[in-house]
């Protein structure tokens, strides 16, 4: 069985961040400093943001390149950032950085 687009993006981001991708509850990729949720459907961006609730670290939605603009619009005025499918940060999380 081949990987879905979601799985491919999660694995690329996890590898870049030096983390693993265990599909489970909560964020798809978790590092010591970041929680990253992958979404490949514009209609589910809000669900992705809900998965990031409760994390005290920097939170990101990772999306395919064609959804970057929609994701940036959805996270506007929130403390959630946006990454593209290669793990490149396209919008930094807003708000104050916690120490």
The DSSP annotation for the chain comes to -PPPHHHHHHHHHHHHHT------SS-SEE-SSEEEEE---GGGHHHHHHHTTT--SEEEEE--GGGHHHHHHHTTTSSEEEE-TTS-EEE---SPPP-
Query: pLDDT tens, 40-73?
Result: 999 999 999 999 999 999 999 999 999 999 999 9
Average pLDDT over residues 68-95: 94
Q: Has residue 2 got a pLDDT over 50?
A: yes
Please give the pLDDT value at position 98. 43
Say what the pTM is. Answer: 0.89
CA dist., res. 10 & res. 85, Å (int): 8
Mean pLDDT score of the chain, rounded to an integer? 90
DSSP state of 51: H
């Amino acid at each position: 069985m081949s990987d879905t687009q979601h799985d491919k993006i999660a694995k690329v981001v996890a590898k870049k961040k030096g983390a693993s991708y265990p599909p489970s509850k909560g964020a798809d990729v978790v590092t010591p400093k970041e929680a990253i949720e992958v979404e490949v459907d514009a209609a589910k961006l809000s669900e992705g943001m809900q998965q990031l609730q409760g994390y005290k670290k920097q939170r990101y939605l990772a999306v395919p390149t064609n959804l970057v603009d929609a994701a940036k619009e959805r996270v506007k005025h929130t403390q959630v950032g946006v990454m593209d499918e290669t793990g490149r940060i396209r919008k930094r999380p807003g708000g104050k950085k916690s120490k």
